[in-house]
């Protein structure tokens, strides 16, 4: 039997916690936060879902094996480092491009944010791999 209060609270909290996770991820580029803490908050969201609904329902919600999330994050983080090598600079040297938005303004996109996204995915995948494996072993 699933606790009604926990399941109801989880349904309302999950979207807000995932939004907080994304905020921490993108805020961390220039201020405290970043991929690691954002990834922990996102993983914690799915752990809360696991407590409320069980491992099988959480795996259905994820739709992807957490190991694949980890591998994707590693590839993204490595790819952001290779960009510096391709421009003749050391590995993980920050590179930026500006996408024009009109009226002389633009959106600055850089490899540090890409690296943070990779870390974010690695933390989510690794944490969920460990926690879900422990939860299944009970």
* pLDDT category of residue 138 using cuts at 50, 70 and 90: low
40: which 2 tokens? Answer: 């922990």
Q: What is the mean pLDDT of residues 3-13?
A: 94
pTM: 0.89
3-class DSSP state of 101: strand
φ, ψ for residue 99, nearest 5 deg: -95, 120
What does the pLDDT read at residue 38? 95
CB environment 37-72: b (16+ within 10 A), e (fewer): bbbbbbbebbbbbbebbebeebbeebeeebeebbeb
Cα distances (angstroms) measured from residue 29 to each of 1, 37, 68, 112: 43, 12, 25, 7
Which span out of 99-103, 110-114, 131-135 was modeled with the highest average pLDDT?
131-135
In this structure, the number of other CB atoms found within 10 A of the CB of residue 16 comes to: 10
Is a pLDDT exceeding 90 seen at residue 70?
yes
What does the pLDDT read at residue 75? 97
Is a pLDDT exceeding 70 seen at residue 74?
yes
Q: What is the mean pLDDT of residues 57-74?
A: 96
């Amino acid at each position: 039997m699933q606790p009604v209060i926990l399941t109801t609270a989880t349904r309302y909290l999950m979207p807000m916690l995932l939004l907080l996770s994304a905020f921490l991820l993108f805020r961390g580029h220039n201020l405290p936060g970043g991929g690691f803490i954002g990834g922990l908050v996102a993983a914690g969201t799915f752990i809360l879902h696991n407590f409320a609904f069980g491992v099988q329902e959480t795996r259905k919600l994820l739709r992807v094996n957490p190991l694949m999330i980890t591998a994707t994050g590693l590839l993204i983080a490595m790819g952001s480092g290779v960009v510096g090598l391709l421009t003749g600079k050391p590995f993980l040297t920050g590179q930026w491009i500006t996408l024009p938005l009109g009226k002389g303004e633009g959106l600055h996109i850089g490899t540090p944010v890409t690296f943070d996204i990779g870390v974010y995915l690695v933390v989510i995948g690794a944490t969920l791999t460990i926690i879900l494996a422990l939860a299944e072993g009970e």
